[in-house]
Amino acid sequence: MGDLTTERSNSTGTGTAPVLVASNRGPVSFSTAEDGTLDLRRGGGGLVSGLSAIGDPDAVWVCAALGDADRRAARAAPDGRLDRAGHDVGGQAVRMLDIDPETFARAYNGVANSTLWFVHHLLYATPTAPAFDAGFRTEWQAYTAYNAAFAEALAAEAAPGAAVLVQDYHLSLAPALLRAARPDLRIGHFSHTPWAPPEYFRLLPDDVAEAVLTGILGADRAGFLTRRWALAFAECCAAVLGAEVDREALTVTHAGRTTRLGVHGLGADADFLRERAHRPDVEERLAALREAVGDRRAVVRVDRTELSKNIVRGFQAYRHLLRTRPEWQDRVVHIAFAYPSRTDLAEYRDYTARVRELAAEINTEFGTDSWQPLILHVDDDFPRSLAAYRLADVALVNPIRDGMNLVAKEVPVVSDRGCALVLSREAGAHAELGEDALSVNPYDVIATSDALHAGLTMAADERADRTKRLAAAATALPPQQWFLDQLDALR
Ligand code: F6P
């Protein structure tokens, strides 16, 4: 974490990047190989393919070093610029910030993932949590320092008048900090999560709630995945800051500045998915899954093992289906892929244990020598997930609350025979897919079980028709256009 004056990259006092992206997790990560050298892995996702659309090698992506190997790589590169250290980081430059591990852990685990994530997804069991004590104040200081490190790096890399797209709840303070350092920049912030309603957002200490909102209002534009989340943000600004809100024009005016709100519903990348889903590694996994499922129906879910994804109630709904409609016994298999996430947090480890436990209970209650009712994998295997998408008769996507949920958009695109989509009305994707999905209240286990039954018994032609419409809606805004739209709107 250098200081601004030492990090400036040229004599004009500014950098040279015309477009910048900032996010906690970057487009590449490192691990240490057996011989001690660094192995680089390139990630995927909407931002990576979005940024590729501008094809500008001067664009800079600023991200944090997440683990020890990342830190080693960042430290060895001049100003953390991995591209200048000879790493093949893709179509843009990458500046990886070597934030000290304790500060990073407090900001990422303590504030971003245990506090802001919980607030926006309504995850607290409120009789005991949250409790904002002295420990939280230490974490909040770290979060502020972490945001300041991003703002400093962005200020150092940005050309005069550059466009900067800051991502997510990890970086809610960065826009205002960056504006103070570089008022010439055009700054956008984008929330990939839902936004909490004001009465829940106000669980946060007052000064923290104010800092989060005024931090984002430091941007010229604040983007959201749905109108619902944009309006929730506006309501929080009105309730907490007394800001003036125009709900039609989607603007928030506070302390003499107006921030425009934008809605950009990130869609699935159809070309990529269709091509990727027919490669040999997917075919191989599809054959193995077909063998396990036999001539039975398949209910599929693919998630991070994430509290908000509601995997436990999903399993309870499946168990209820088998208990109350015994005709499905030996005629259906539930394939659940729950890949590991945020394992530093006890809540996530406990949740994963509960998921495993419940899967075992269901298999013990109903399983026979020739039928395993629930196949659970808790490791990450992207080609295997695509194989499951292709095979699914019913996809279960039942989050408690979700910014968008791309699985709901991806399954209809690659499904081989058409797939009924059981979809939580609290997922952002529901705004676009609700009409052709089977909508559920994610807390209602019996209604979810009924929806699974409706999906399993849906006539083939209806299923195919709905899948076609779902796939069209799901791919309406591909990642590259999603990114370019935000850039255009900022300019
Ligand atoms: O939804 C918000 C988000 O940051 C996504 O962009 C990402 O897929 C997810 O959370 C993963 O979080 P983490 O980086 O903590 O694994």
Q: What is the pLDDT along the chain (491 residues), one digit of tens a residue?
A: 444 333 434 445 689 999 999 999 999 999 999 999 999 999 988 889 888 888 899 999 999 999 999 999 999 999 999 999 999 999 899 999 999 999 999 999 999 999 999 999 999 999 999 999 999 999 999 999 999 999 999 999 999 999 999 999 999 999 999 999 999 999 999 999 999 999 999 999 999 999 999 999 999 999 999 999 999 999 999 999 999 999 999 999 999 999 999 999 999 999 999 999 999 999 999 999 999 999 999 999 999 999 999 999 999 999 999 999 999 999 999 999 999 999 999 999 999 999 999 999 999 999 999 999 999 999 999 999 999 999 999 999 999 999 999 999 999 999 999 999 999 999 999 999 999 999 999 999 999 999 999 999 999 999 999 999 999 999 999 999 999 999 999 98
Instruction: Tell me the pairing of strands 186-190 and 221-224.
Output: parallel
CB-defined site of ligand 1, < 6 Å: 25, 168, 192-193, 341-342, 403
Counting from 1 in the atom list of ligand 1, the atom nearest the Cα of 113 is 15
Rounded distance from Cα 470 to ligand 1 centre (Å): 24
In angstroms, the CA 465 to CA 473 distance is 13
**Which H/E stretch holds residue 376?**
strand 374-377
Rounded distance from Cα 170 to ligand 1 centre (Å): 10
What is the model's pLDDT at position 13? 61
Rounded distance from Cα 203 to ligand 1 centre (Å): 22
**Which H/E stretch holds residue 375?**
strand 374-377
Among 180, 177, 191, smallest CA distance to 143 is for 177
* Test site for ligand 1: of 61, 70, 192, 406, most ligand atoms within 8 A of the Cβ: 192
432-438 own/partner pairs: CB under 8 Å, 24+ apart:
432/265, 432/473, 432/474, 432/476, 433/408, 433/409, 433/470, 433/473, 433/474, 435/469, 436/466, 436/467, 436/469, 436/470, 436/473, 437/408, 437/466, 437/470
Among 335, 324, 336, 330, smallest CA distance to 450 is for 324
Task: Find the radius of gyration of the CA atoms of the chain.
Answer: 23
Rounded distance from Cα 438 to ligand 1 centre (Å): 26
Q: Is-contact 384 376, C-beta < 8 A?
A: no
257-263 β-sheet, strand order: 93-97, 60-64, 17-22, 158-167, 186-190, 221-224, 257-263, 251-254, 244-246
In angstroms, the CA 312 to CA 359 distance is 9
Counting from 1 in the atom list of ligand 1, the atom nearest the Cα of 404 is 1
In sequence order, which residues have a C-beta less than 8 Å from that of residue 249 and are 6 or more positions away?
none
**Which H/E stretch holds residue 424?**
strand 420-424
What is the model's pLDDT at position 469? 98
Task: Classify 68 in phi/psi space as left (phi over 0), alpha (psi -120 to 50) or beta.
Answer: alpha
What is the model's pLDDT at position 285? 98
Rounded distance from Cα 458 to ligand 1 centre (Å): 34
| Burial zone of 330 (CB within 10 Å; 0-12 exposed, 13-18 middle, 19+ buried) | middle
Q: Is-contact 405 428, C-beta < 8 A?
A: yes
What is the model's pLDDT at position 210? 99
Rounded distance from Cα 117 to ligand 1 centre (Å): 10
The number of residues in the chain equals 491
What is the model's pLDDT at position 46? 86
Nearest CA to ligand 1 atom 15: 342
In angstroms, the CA 235 to CA 474 distance is 28
| Burial zone of 216 (CB within 10 Å; 0-12 exposed, 13-18 middle, 19+ buried) | buried
* Alpha-carbon distance values, 246 to 163, 186, 235, 242, 335 (Å): 25, 21, 10, 13, 45
Nearest CA to ligand 1 atom 14: 25
* Alpha-carbon distance values, 93 to 24, 148, 162 (Å): 16, 21, 15
Nearest CA to ligand 1 atom 6: 192
Tokens of 76: 């060895």
Helix (H/G/I), strand (E/B), else coil: 132: coil
